[in-house]
Amino acid sequence: MIRLFSARSAIVALLLSFAWMSSGVDSTKAADERQVKLSINSGLQALREFNFSFRPVTGLVVYTLLVGGDELDSPAVARGLSIIEGKFDRQTGEYRPTQHHIYEAAIDAMALQKADDEAFRPQLEAIATYLIEQQAMHGGWFYPNRDEANFGDTSITQYAVLGLWAAERAGVVVPNDVYLKAMRWHTGTQNGDGGFAYHPRPRTQSSSTGTMSTAGAGSLGIIRLILIGGPDFSGGTRGSSKKFGLLEAVKPKQTGIRPAITPGQVRPVIKPAIDRAGLWVAGRFEADSIADHNGFLYYYYYTLERAAAVNAWDEINGVDWYDHGAEILLERQAANGHWSESGNHSNIAPSSTCFALLFLMKSTQKLLPQRPESTRFGEGVLAGGRGLPDDLTRVEFRNGRVETEQELGDFNTLLQGLSQIELEAPEPEKEAESVDLTRPELLVGDVTLLKRLAEHDDSRVRQLAAWALGRTDRLDAAAPLLQLMTDENLDVCVEARAAMCWLARRPNGFGLEPDPRLFLEPTLSDQEKAEQIQTWRRDVETRWMDWYLKNRPYSERDDFDDPLQRPYGAMRP
């Protein structure tokens, strides 16, 4: 369980790095379970009576009813699905929302995926295409054909990510670049205080709000979940068996393979941004008031539930966020089962009822893999060995805290179709050697074999060799890693740099970015991007070569024929 601390305890929070606590507590005990269930049932019954007069919220109503357990043939769900299906062109299959554009597309996707992701696969692909086409160059989303799109909208971007995630759960593979651009937009528009604004402005910082800060943290958490897996759970591979929260989720249908992204490409960028947003939320959680949300109270609680679920926040500033929210929502439910805003949101009822119900039903938590029991740390205990995993080759130290690397699912995806390869015999009289790549961890330590794999024609094999060389804990693995840093394939170069960080016990790698592609401004030309990447390559090679020449074994210091030393002026005496 991750706990977020207030500003008063920010220093302690940073030292303890969101201390892990036991996750076995039932979060509904403080809020009376019976009252919560009665409230949910009353709200669902109110939704079933909605006449769909305001069609943009159709998907939200259908999704909420399906989360609540309604069947596909129930009158309200069947009527709603029929309306959603009518938004697709009968000839081309193109998705055409009515008037709420990105918001509408996202909730329609969520409803269709929840209803039957196999039957509605073509429609989900069409919505994903629509959302991808609406993404701005900077990586965010805005209302179509509006000048403000130059900056983006945190709320609209949140729903675009939600819609793409729904398509992903149905097996629609969205290009990684869509998520990487969205990630860069969030980290680039995050305010200095850690929060997020509704309409960020780069030159005149807009004020952070609770709704947008939880929205930003939630979107980043979903992007992390899709690309590398969540904070406490592995994303797994498509088709793997997973337990999902309180429900057993249907396995996603595989329609394609996502190109592999290693945790090192995403985590150093996305995790600090989520942590900063979490601290902003924690610092204002106790003092937060209903008036602070300006007529978007129920919208806020749904964003809170989502951010807390995908980022494994069980407590915020020492408060169980679910109990806190449930008590407020139960007090504000009307006798007819609905929740109603008094401000701007009142004109799109019954969205408030949907948001409140999705919070109370923990709708996002039901989409996530079950988290393993976490380790309890005593107050004031710093990382010193207790609670560390047995395999320390999967541990990174960042800002004084321990982080565990994702499992080997990345390489299992990367090497699909290459379960076994043949290496030419090292000597004429010997036979060719067959190498099994299905268990990459078993290659660690065999430096002789890994040196040969590092010269393989397939860049995926070279990338795997770099990963394994970094975990051999032997200095003679440094030379082949330096060669791989000059590889023509940038993924291999990135992996080799990360491996050297492991080998040299230098997790920050001389301060160079883990992957130059994650820090490129979207406005740069292709030529400018190529130049920045080349500069990064040159800096990586130079700094790590300097390190190697100072730390290499004495037996290698007079190897004047070593090609690694030639560019650095090695001369015979």
Which CATH number fits the domain that encloses residue 452?
1.25.10.10
Contact partners, residue 551, CB within 8 Å, separation at least 6: 475, 478, 504
| Nearest residue to 148 via CA among 131, 136, 163 | 136
Are residue 433 and residue 361 in the same domain, yes or no?
no
- Kindly state whether residue 195 falls inside one of the protein's structural domains: yes
* Neighbouring C-alpha atoms within 13 Å toward the C-beta of 393: 17
In the block, tokens 């995050």 appear at: 190
Residue 398: its H or E element:
strand 395-398
Q: Are 573 and 542 in contact (CB under 8 A)?
A: no
Say if residue 311 is in the same domain as residue 440.
Answer: no
CA distance 129 to 94: 9
Q: Does residue 270 lie in a domain region?
A: yes
**Are residues 338 and 224 located together in one domain of the fold?**
yes
Does 343 share its domain with 242? yes
The whole-number pLDDT of residue 385 equals: 36
> Going by C-beta distance under 8 Å and a sequence separation of 6 or more, which residues neighbour residue 565?
549, 559
Q: Are residues 245 and 355 in the same domain?
A: yes
pLDDT at position 232: 45
DSSP 8-state secondary structure symbol assigned to residue 119: T
Residues 6+ apart with CB under 8 A from 316: 3, 4, 278, 281, 282, 285, 308
9 part of a folded domain: yes
Torsion over CA of 13, 17, 21 and 25, rounded to 10 degrees? 70
Q: Is residue 372 in some structural domain?
A: no
Measure the CA–CA gap between 189 and 200, rounded to whole angstroms: 6
- Mention every residue, 6+ apart, whose C-beta is less than 8 A from residue 424: 432
pLDDT in tens, the chain (573 residues): 556 655 444 433 333 333 333 333 344 345 688 999 999 999 999 999 998 888 889 999 999 999 999 999 999 999 999 999 999 999 999 999 987 789 999 999 999 999 999 999 999 999 999 999 999 999 999 988 776 556 899 999 999 999 999 999 999 989 999 999 999 999 999 998 999 998 887 655 678 999 999 999 999 999 999 988 766 443 332 233 332 222 333 344 444 556 667 777 788 899 999 999 999 998 887 665 555 566 688 999 999 999 999 998 988 888 899 999 999 999 999 999 999 876 554 445 689 999 999 999 999 988 886 543 332 222 233 333 333 343 333 444 444 444 444 444 454 555 555 566 777 766 666 666 777 777 777 788 788 888 888 888 888 888 888 888 888 778 888 889 899 999 999 989 988 898 888 777 776 677 777 888 877 777 788 888 899 999 999 998 998 888 888 777 655 555 544 444 444 444 333
- Rounded Cα gap, residues 449 and 438, in angstroms: 16
Strand-pair category, 313-316 with 2-4: parallel
In terms of domains, do 357 and 445 share one?
Answer: no
* Beta carbons of 507 and 396 less than 8 angstroms apart: yes
Contact 300, 210 (CB under 8 A): yes
Q: Are residues 419 and 276 in the same domain?
A: no
- The number of distinct structural domains making up the chain is 2
Note whether 211 and 354 are same-domain residues. yes
Same domain as 459, residue 342 = no
Give the burial class of 23: count Cβ atoms within 10 A of its Cβ; 0-12 exposed, 13-18 middle, 19 or more buried. middle
Cβ atoms of 324 and 289 within 8 Å: the answer is no
Q: What angle do CA 17, 21, 25 make, to 5 degrees?
A: 145
User: Which among 311, 345, 367 is the end of a domain?
Assistant: 367
* The last residue of a domain, from among 341, 367, 393: 367
Q: What is the residue-wise DSSP string for 240-283?
A: ----BTTB-PPPPPP---PPP--HHHHHHHHHHHHHHHHHHHHH
Q: What is the per-residue pLDDT for 443?
A: 81
Asked whether residue 187 falls in the same domain as residue 251, the answer is: yes
What single-letter DSSP state applies at residue 319? B
Domain boundary among 318, 349, 367: 367
Residues 362 and 448 in one domain: no
Phi and psi at residue 561, to the nearest 5°: -90, -5
- Report if residue 358 sits inside a domain: yes
Geometric angle at alpha carbon 221, from 23 and 238, rounded to 5°: 90
In a domain, 138, yes or no: no
Q: Do residue 204 and residue 274 come from a single domain?
A: yes
Sign of CA pseudo-dihedral 75, 81, 84, 89: negative
For residue 299 the two structure tokens come to 């919208």
Q: So what's the pLDDT on residue 513?
A: 79
Neighbours of 495 (CB within 10 A): 30
Question: Is residue 181, in this structure, part of any structural domain at all?
Answer: yes
In a domain, 318, yes or no: yes
How many CB atoms within 10 Å of residue 392? 12
Q: How many residues comprise the chain?
A: 573
Range of the domain at 257: 2-56+171-367
